Every structure is written in structure tokens, then in C-alpha cells.
Amino acid sequence: MLGFFAGWWALIALTLGGCASVDPQESATVSSAQHHEQTWQGWHLHLLPGKRPTHYQLDQHEGRSVVLASSERAVSLFRKNERIEADQLGALHFSWKVPQLISGADLAQRDKADSPARLVLAFDGDRSTFSMKNSMLSELSLALTGEPMPYATLMYVWSNSEPLNTVLKDPNTDRIRKLVVASGESQLNQWLHVERDVRADFVQAFGEAPGALLSMGLMTDTDNTRSSARAYYGPVAWRKP
């Protein structure tokens, strides 16, 4: 029973935007420098209770300002709470560089669902349409943290083998969908620049138009496979419609 609640609590923490966060100026796991402050202003470490955190460090790499993520049997997010109304959602540009894949990872399986690189977007919406299971999860989240579960969470992910543009449902809740934007080994050890139409991707993943964006976060996780991974993340930028 304890394991059941621990699993749900970790899921709640993953999909929430305001709880268990640590300002990078106050955290030993996130270092910052003067020239990075503007690029990464408002981003913070977001911890998952009971989980060893991934280490996120602001750094310079190949002439660009980056976040270096190092995960050792760990999971946490580096995220920014930012509300953008649905009619203001445009194209989203981000970049990442991954040295190697996570051996044995499989985003479709609960006990292997790790990824070296993710961009996580949380959205608002009509929670009255939730299934009983998701309503219970949202109410539990509200009771424990003061924040309901986001209506929907869209993740852009790097998969070991799934084809590009595959949409995967999270094993725990259908309110989390993973969209594969990088796959396999062919683009390892090089900068991969990605630009996505978030509105179109949300419709593909959920079959409806998105609500307002609540937060966005970077995530490198290795807790399920109990392995290690590194990733470099470039700045995230919106192109207004």
C-alpha cells in the first residue's frame, strides 16, 4: 500500500507546477552565472518527493548558454511557471544534445519509462470532464499540495526506438501524452534543433484544442532503469502566432 501511494505522489509532483520547487540561487544542485541570468530567468529546480534529484547546472557549451542535466538513478525537473493563453500559443523552438541513450529504457512501460531528454508542457482545461480515476488523482493532488493536477501534460521526448511523431499515453493516466521528436542513435552527440507547432501537436495527442499553458520544464530521468544519463539543453523560445 505504501508503494501505491508513493507512486501516485510522484505522479502528482511530476504534473504540478508550483510545489516542491527550489530557487537556483538557494540550491546546491543548480549553479548560475551572471551571463546566464537573463536566458534562464524564472527557471527553478522542481523536486519529486522521495526521489533522488537529477542535477541541473547552468553552463556554457560550444559557445551557447545551456542547462547540463546529469542523472544518476534520479528524476526531477528544471522548470518555469508561465501562463500563456491558448490563442497566444505559437511555434516552440528548443534544442538539446544527448551523448548516449539509456540502455533498456522504454517509454511505453511503467517500470522502464526513462528518457535522456524531455520538454514537459502543462496545460489548463475543464477538469469536470475528467474520468473518475483522474478526478480522484486531481483531488488528491489538491488536498496534498494546494494545486490540482493540470488538465493535460504534453511531453516532447527522446525515445530509444519509437518512430518520430508517435504519441504514447502515460501508463498511469491518459492526461499525460508523450510525443516522440527524437529517436534512436543517429542524432547522438550533436545539437538537435526542434521547432513544433504546439497547438497542432496537442490536437494530435489529445484530440482537442489546448487550453492555456501553465508551465514548461526540462527533464532527464533515470529512476526507473536505475541507470545514468546526461543531456545538454539550449534555451526554449516561443514564436508568437
Q: 54-63, pLDDT tens digit by residue?
A: 999 999 999 8
Q: Has residue 211 got a pLDDT over 80?
A: yes
Query: pTM for this structure?
Result: 0.86
Average pLDDT over residues 128-151: 82
61-85 residue pLDDT tens: 998 899 999 999 999 999 999 999 9
- Assign 217 to helix, strand or coil: strand
Place of cell 501524452: 177
Query: Is the distance from CB of 177 to CB of 170 less than 8 angstroms?
Result: yes
- Mean per-residue pLDDT of the chain: 86
